[in-house]
Amino acid sequence: MKGLVLKSTGSWYVVRKEDGGLLRARLRGKFKNKGLKLSNPVAVGDHVTLELEGEEGSAVITEIAKRQNHIIRKSIHKTAHAHIIASNIDLAFLVVTLVSPRTSFGFIDRFLITAEAYHIPVTLLFNKIDLYDEDTLKYQERVRKMYKQIGYDSLVCSAAEGIGMEEIKQLLDKKVTLFSGHSGVGKSTLVNVLVPDLDLKTTEISAFSDKGVHTTTFAEMFEIGPETYLIDTPGIKELGIVDIPKEELGGLFPEFRPFMAECRFNNCLHVKEPGCKVLEAVEAGKISLTRYDSYKSILEDEDNRR
């Protein structure tokens, strides 16, 4: 029997069968994950093979299908472990705000390179625009332009005022879309506006998972239309980068790529090496200093909340 993982609460998983019914499932044995130490071997979005067991509505996961892609971060609970936020994603929305709270560029760029590493397209959603004054709106346009120039689309929206909702709905159609963002950026409000019967769906899925587990602690997938799924994730305070070697980091910044091949040294880290064409591009204003600062901060493994 095949199924799709809608929710993981640690040791138990809620799985949607092909006929649309839900099962409570657990994992049989240990699964190897390409040398990575994972705090969650099964992730929301995984396609799995199941066997029914004992009580009605209960099953065992015997196999996890190969993932098309995934978004990963350092585990906040287990040292030296990684945590897969979700898998098999067609599009990721990163909800950002420039005020109340301000999303740092370090956080945005860490998310973008993690998605870039696994070939997941990202659209930035600038939320809470109803709170912006004229100067902030002008600043927002400059930020949007910076990301547009390097290939990242963005939309402006206000969950509170219903601005931009139709454009977002059109992008969701016939895709598996991940919603992510800092705590407090209004992501949950946004998801509730986009999926009006979300409370019902949450209650239905929660009935199959451990009682008393707070719903925003774990990622959760909802079917919101034919072949259309939305993955809601808990607010992230800090996004720790996993499994990206230092020498490969520059290649995950799209604007670095045209210059990297021209660097004098093929193992150039673009920090202080002589003949570095990336540094020359930064100095010439061809690469944004804001993005270059993010690159250095990730390279040095600094906190991303600044």
Residue-wise pLDDT tens digits, 129-154: 999 999 999 999 999 999 999 999 99
Q: Map tokens 């920090």 to a residue.
A: 271
Cα gap 26→190, rounded to integer Å: 31
pTM: 0.88
List the alpha helices (DSSP H) in 182-245: 187-194, 198-206
Domain with 183, as residue range(s), is 88-201+212-232
Tally of structural domains, the chain: 3
Q: Is 187 annotated as a binding residue?
A: yes
Confidence of residue 35 (pLDDT cuts 50, 70, 90): low
Give the three-state DSSP class for 156.
Answer: strand
User: Would you state the pLDDT for residue 218?
Assistant: 75
Q: Is 128 annotated as a binding residue?
A: yes
Q: Does residue 241 lie within any of the structural domains?
A: no
Give the three-state DSSP class for 80.
Answer: coil
Q: Does residue 296 lie within any of the structural domains?
A: yes
State both tokens at 186.
Answer: 């209004």
Q: Please tell me which residue, 83 or 283, carries the higher pLDDT value.
A: 283
Contacts of 19 (CB under 8 A, 6+ apart): none
Q: Is 250 annotated as a binding residue?
A: no
Q: Is residue 258 located within the same domain as residue 143?
A: no
Asked which of 51, 68, 86 is the last residue of a domain, the reply is 86
Report yes or no: 101 and 55 within 8 Å, Cβ to Cβ. Answer: no
Q: What CATH number should be reported for the domain holding residue 250?
A: 1.10.40.50
Give per-residue pLDDT as tens, 106-122: 999 999 999 999 999 99
Cα of first residue to Cα of last residue in the chain, in angstroms, is: 47
Q: Is 214 annotated as a binding residue?
A: no
State both tokens at 197.
Answer: 């019967």
Q: Is residue 122 located within the same domain as residue 155?
A: yes
Q: Is 186 annotated as a binding residue?
A: yes
Report yes or no: 48 and 2 within 8 Å, Cβ to Cβ. Answer: yes
Confidence of residue 210 (pLDDT cuts 50, 70, 90): very low
Q: Is residue 69 located within the same domain as residue 98?
A: no
Cα gap 141→136, rounded to integer Å: 9
Q: Is residue 36 located within the same domain as residue 113?
A: no
Q: Is residue 57 located within the same domain as residue 67?
A: yes
Report yes or no: 190 and 95 within 8 Å, Cβ to Cβ. Answer: yes
